[in-house]
A and B are shown apart, each in its own frame.
Chain A
Amino acid sequence: MIDILTKKEHWDDIISSKHNLLSLNLQEVWRYRDLLLMFVKRDFVTFYKQTILGPIWFFVQPIFTTIIYTFVFGNLAQISTDEAPPILFYLAGITCWNYFADSFNKTSTTFVSNQAIFGKVYFPRLIIPLSIVTSNLMKFGIQFGLFLGVWMYYLLTNSTIHPNIGILIVPVLILMMACLSLGTGLIITSLTTKYRDMTFLLQFAIQLLMYGTPVIYPLSTVPSEYKWLVLINPMTSIIETFKHAFIGKGTFELNQLGISFLLITIILFLGIIIFNRTEKNFMDTV
């Protein structure tokens, strides 16, 4: 600012070693929106190139996982599903969890797996994690369609399902999952550019986190002394609300959801700030 005033010069861009911590550069991201769409398109096109079944493969994973969970957790371990039909119960949990886990997993390797392209051309780096979250959203859309199909079947043949007005906030739940996976992914990828130790822990951590989230069990079965531990996880209230809306089982508490919302907002902002700070010089250390 001082520079412009004293020298009466106008510059479009100033590259320097100092950066403003809070400049998020979101207008620039918006200018590159076509690139975001190209990345999403690339992810999709290359996913089913040279396959016979094509996008149908997106269905395979949730179907198989549901069958396995129904068998292992439902029939063998006899874990309660709160009297909800097990297949629908697991499918609901898996559809949501997969979206979060896949987006988180992929955004957390943004720097390492894109270093070739980052080393050759400048564009707002945030485009890559945003495109990952978006293309996983497409995948989620397809899998959500599968869930809706199964749900319709149970709705027509089974009287234990009580969908309610909560369905209206499902778009908010999806947005929350997107922001949470983006925020956590941004933090992890920024921390792992120089020291890769965290990447080894990540796979394990995501697995563990799933068991800390009511995916395969309802929140109501958690012993009350551990309940806070499960509730601190923002995914808990998202999945519980989701199940409550469609199946009528599970817990729905607005203030719990509000706390998760707040937590996710903080994580996302923190993630963007750390990410923007890292992107400037990560090429030298990655």
Chain B
Amino acid sequence: MSQTVIKIESLSKQYRLGQVGTGTLSHDLNRWWANIRGREDPFKKVTTINDRNIADGGEYVWALKDINFEVEKGEILGIIGKNGAGKSTLLKILSKVTGPTTGTIKTKGRIASLLEVGTGFHPEMTGRENIYMNGTLNGMRRHEIKAKLDEIIDFAGVAKYLDTPTKRYSSGMTVRLGFAVAAFLEPEILIVDEVLAVGDFEFQDKAIGRMSEISGQSGRTILFVSHNMGAIQRLCTKAIHLQNGEVSDIGETSRVIGRYFSKDSKKNNVLRDLSTEFAGIIIKLFKFNQPKAGFNQPIKFEFIISTNLQANEIRIGVGINNSLSNRVVTTSSTITTSSHDEKFSIELANHYLPPDNYEVSLGLDLGGNTIFFSNNILQFEISADEILNPLLVERSGRLGVFLPNKTIHNN
């Protein structure tokens, strides 16, 4: 039987832009006066939508506006969205760090949040003391921590440094220790912000493994914010996409991720100027008329590259990542550039890429030195229209190069 453990009802959060200071007192007095007369807050009306790109002069902004959703027991909910979409604000309200402006959140069970790794760590205290500090800070009792101490130390892998002050730790070790405490908190609901970005690959893997273990074994609920779509896809049973403080999409993880990317790609397929000051490189995305292609249809894009270097041999590298941020294609070749605009085109034919959303990154190399690198210069989508294999559509992103049926023969 499914059971709702978090219920969010018309939740909104208003923030004031600019500095707290001038004008704040008069606004406060205004508010107080309206409150006394039983009127509505006069500044709720002038609050504008949260889009960080548009400077419309509004003094107040809705970081979250009318959010409604429910989370069921045992679910791992991934929260995705661009920077400033309201993800962290949502987590902050859920973990009671700040209160909502309107609306309610109803919860069942103990909530522990990991908005930052190693909160409350004091650099002068030893690793052991900091485990107790961080654990009690997250609502654990001393004896609970004591019972878990060996597991925590083992998970963090810092046994040797346990009685050394944490100021002598490397940043990676601090993250390991901080996550280890949180991983053994055993709350009913665990809230995790983008905290895994710091650890090394092995640790990230371990952390994600531990999270799915926590949820799988004991039916605990996890809310997880990340920009790493691979991690979201691997871990989450359900995803929610926030855009400008509003819920833009919620549902099955790969569908939400897919729509998130395709929304993004519609915007970005205009001509882009990637020029950098360094080495006077001018790179312009010149032509890209294939943002959406059918299975195994050629993908072609063109660049204008010019440098202030006289006729030089430059190695150009192109990488393509799928929606899980895994590299699926790498190609490179040597070109000759000059100070004139030179046009180059990159064409992928017979690539056999499965239906998915892809990101292209571009790097330039001169005599062994990277002189230009940019991730995610453009996106394209391979659509599932052309192929009939339903397996492909469902597992998009998890498949590598997809070879057509005739590859397997009956001898």
A interface list, Cβ under 8 A from B: 9-17, 19, 31-32, 34-35, 37-38, 41-42, 45-46, 49-50, 117-123, 194-195, 280-281, 283-285
What is the CA–CA distance of A281 and B16 in the complex, to the nearest angstrom? Answer: 13
B200 → A minimal CB distance (Å): 23
B107-115, B305-313, B321-329: which lies at the interface: B107-115
CB contacts (< 8 Å) of A11 on chain B: these are 7, 106-108
B24 within 8 A of A: yes
What is the CA–CA distance of A16 and B99 in the complex, to the nearest angstrom? Answer: 7
Chain B's interface size range is: 35 or more
What is the CA–CA distance of A258 and B96 in the complex, to the nearest angstrom? Answer: 40
Which one of B104, B109, B132, B133 contacts A15 once the chains associate, using CB atoms below 8 Å? B104
What is the CA–CA distance of A118 and B16 in the complex, to the nearest angstrom? Answer: 20
Which one of A38, A50, A121 contacts B97 once the chains associate, using CB atoms below 8 Å? A121
What is the CA–CA distance of A35 and B140 in the complex, to the nearest angstrom? Answer: 8
CB contacts (< 8 Å) of A122 on chain B: these are 95-97, 111, 113
- Do residues B106 and A280 form an inter-chain contact, with CB atoms below 8 A? no
24 contacts between A and B (CB under 8 A): A9-B106, A12-B109, A14-B106, A15-B104, A15-B107, A16-B105, A17-B104, A19-B99, A32-B139, A34-B136, A35-B136, A35-B137, A38-B132, A38-B133, A38-B136, A46-B122, A117-B120, A120-B97, A121-B95, A121-B116, A122-B113, A123-B138, A284-B16, A284-B98
- Do residues B142 and A14 form an inter-chain contact, with CB atoms below 8 A? no
B7 → A minimal CB distance (Å): 8
- Do residues A42 and B122 form an inter-chain contact, with CB atoms below 8 A? yes
What is the CA–CA distance of A111 and B14 in the complex, to the nearest angstrom? Answer: 21
Per-residue CB proximity of B136-167 to A under 8 Å, as 1/0?
Answer: 11111110000000000000000000000100
B15 within 8 A of A: yes
Count of chain A to chain B residue pairs whose CB atoms are closer than 8 Å in the complex: 109
Which residues 80-106 in B have Cβ within 8 Å of A in the complex?
Answer: 92-106
- Do residues A285 and B20 form an inter-chain contact, with CB atoms below 8 A? yes
What is the CA–CA distance of A195 and B29 in the complex, to the nearest angstrom? Answer: 14
What is the CA–CA distance of A14 and B11 in the complex, to the nearest angstrom? Answer: 12
CB contacts (< 8 Å) of A35 on chain B: these are 136-137
- Do residues A120 and B116 form an inter-chain contact, with CB atoms below 8 A? yes
**Assuming the A-B contacts A34-B142, A120-B119, A121-B120, are A17 and B95 also in contact, with contact meaning beta carbons closer than 8 angstroms in the complex?**
no
CB contacts (< 8 Å) of A121 on chain B: these are 95, 97, 113, 115-116, 119-120, 137-138
A23 → B minimal CB distance (Å): 14
- Do residues A45 and B125 form an inter-chain contact, with CB atoms below 8 A? yes
What is the CA–CA distance of A265 and B206 in the complex, to the nearest angstrom? Answer: 52
A246 → B minimal CB distance (Å): 37
Q: Which residue, of A13, A35, A121, A194, has the highest number of chain B Cβ atoms within 10 A?
A: A121
CB contacts (< 8 Å) of B142 on chain A: these are 34, 37
- Do residues B98 and A283 form an inter-chain contact, with CB atoms below 8 A? yes
CB contacts (< 8 Å) of B115 on chain A: these are 119-121
What is the CA–CA distance of A10 and B106 in the complex, to the nearest angstrom? Answer: 9
B72 within 8 A of A: no
B25 within 8 A of A: yes
Residue of B nearest to A283 (CB): B98
Residue of A nearest to B99 (CB): A280
**Assuming the A-B contacts A121-B120, A194-B20, A195-B25, are A34 and B99 also in contact, with contact meaning beta carbons closer than 8 angstroms in the complex?**
no
CB contacts (< 8 Å) of B97 on chain A: these are 118-122, 283
B124 within 8 A of A: yes
**Assuming the A-B contacts A122-B113, A195-B25, are A281 and B99 also in contact, with contact meaning beta carbons closer than 8 angstroms in the complex?**
yes
What is the CA–CA distance of A174 and B99 in the complex, to the nearest angstrom? Answer: 36
Residue of B nearest to A284 (CB): B98
- Do residues B104 and A14 form an inter-chain contact, with CB atoms below 8 A? yes
**Assuming the A-B contacts A12-B108, A46-B125, A123-B137, are A17 and B100 also in contact, with contact meaning beta carbons closer than 8 angstroms in the complex?**
yes
B302 within 8 A of A: no
**Assuming the A-B contacts A17-B101, A35-B136, A120-B97, are A12 and B107 also in contact, with contact meaning beta carbons closer than 8 angstroms in the complex?**
yes
- Do residues B129 and A13 form an inter-chain contact, with CB atoms below 8 A? no
What is the CA–CA distance of A239 and B172 in the complex, to the nearest angstrom? Answer: 52
What is the CA–CA distance of A281 and B124 in the complex, to the nearest angstrom? Answer: 30
CB contacts (< 8 Å) of A12 on chain B: these are 107-110
- Do residues A32 and B120 form an inter-chain contact, with CB atoms below 8 A? no
- Do residues B104 and A16 form an inter-chain contact, with CB atoms below 8 A? yes
